[in-house]
Amino acid sequence: MRHILAGLGLFILAAGAVPAAGQTVSLAGTWKLNVKESDNPNEKLRAALEKGPTVVDGMREGRGRPSTGAGRLDRPESGSSNAAAASAGGAAAMRSGPFGRVMRPSPQIIVVQTDTSIVISDDASLPVILFLDGRKVEEPLPGAESMVTTAKWKDGKLTVERKLGSTGSIREVFTIDPAKHRLTVEAKLTNAQLQGSIDIRRVYDAGN
């Protein structure tokens, strides 16, 4: 309840602020996830984990050939256990916390928009409040680090950046297709325990 009241207080303050520059479209409305047109987050995560870390394959045979992929680790005493631990840790981190909203998207979201802010609500978690003037908003994470969020308009697209300290980052770009009445969200997730990043596309149809 305390978090909800605090969020509503921030939203009220935002409504009286200076309008954000460059805002040209509205994301407001009820949006239903189009599963067929969207990426499957679990498949994307599985593909990233299967790439695995680069290790030395066949050193005991003297080949010294580098290889990638968890299925080709041939040094269980040093490589396989570490890779398995890293994969398990990375998978757990990607399915929880701020990453969870992308990895387990709600079937429906409601977007309320003003000149200065956007509030995104679903049935699974607290509303997300975004300020559209590019300011940095810091929120505590479990542990000693914080999440820093910025949101800004550019070329009719809303870009939201979330820095998660040493854990990683989330970048989401929101666009509207007025002809198809669709909202598309292109997300790029990085995690310190994974190799590279994961790109996940979500498509929403306008609800009734």
| pLDDT, position 53 | 54
Looking at the chain, the number of H-run helices and the number of E-run strands are 4, 12
| pLDDT, position 36 | 97
Give the residue with greater pLDDT, 25 vs 148.
Answer: 148
CA 207 from centre of chain: 23
Instruction: Name the residue ranges covered by the structural domains of the chain.
Output: 24-45+104-206, 52-93
Length of the chain: 208
Q: CB of 33 within 8 A of CB of 108?
A: yes
Average pLDDT over residues 144-166: 93
User: The whole model's pTM is what?
Assistant: 0.73
CATH topology for the 24-45+104-206 domain = Lipocalin (2.40.128)
Q: Out of 13-17, 79-83, 123-127, which region has the weakest mean confidence (pLDDT)?
A: 13-17
